[in-house]
Amino acid sequence: MRSSLYAVAAVALAAIIASCNPAKAYEEEEKSLIASYIAENNINIAPDSDGLYYIEKVPGTGELIKTGDSVGVYYTLFFLTGEQVQSNVEADTPYRLRVGSYEAIEGWSLGLRYMKLGTKAQILLPSSLAYGSMGFGYYDYYGNYYSVIPGYTPLLYQMEVVELVRARK
**DSSP string over 121-165:** EEEEE-GGGTTTTT-EEEE-TTS-EEEEE-TT--EEEEEEEEEEE
Q: What is the pLDDT of residues 89-125, one digit of tens each?
A: 999 999 999 999 988 899 999 999 999 999 999 999 9
Instruction: Give 34's contacts (C-beta < 8 A, 6+ positions apart).
Output: 80, 124, 126, 154
**What are the extents of the domains in the chain?**
45-165
At residue 51, the pLDDT reads 95
Task: Quickly state the pLDDT bin for 16 (edges 50, 70, 90).
Answer: low
Q: What is the pTM of this model?
A: 0.83
Name the residue among 78, 67, 69 with its Cα closest to residue 37. 78
CATH topology of domain 45-165: Chitinase A; domain 3 (3.10.50)
The mean of the pLDDT values for the chain is 89
Give the whole-angstrom CA distance, residue 134 versus residue 52. Answer: 19
Question: How many whole angstroms separate alpha carbon 120 and alpha carbon 152?
Answer: 26
**Helices and strands (DSSP H and E) totals, the chain:** 3, 8
Task: Determine how many CB atoms are found less than 10 A away from the CB of residue 96.
Answer: 13
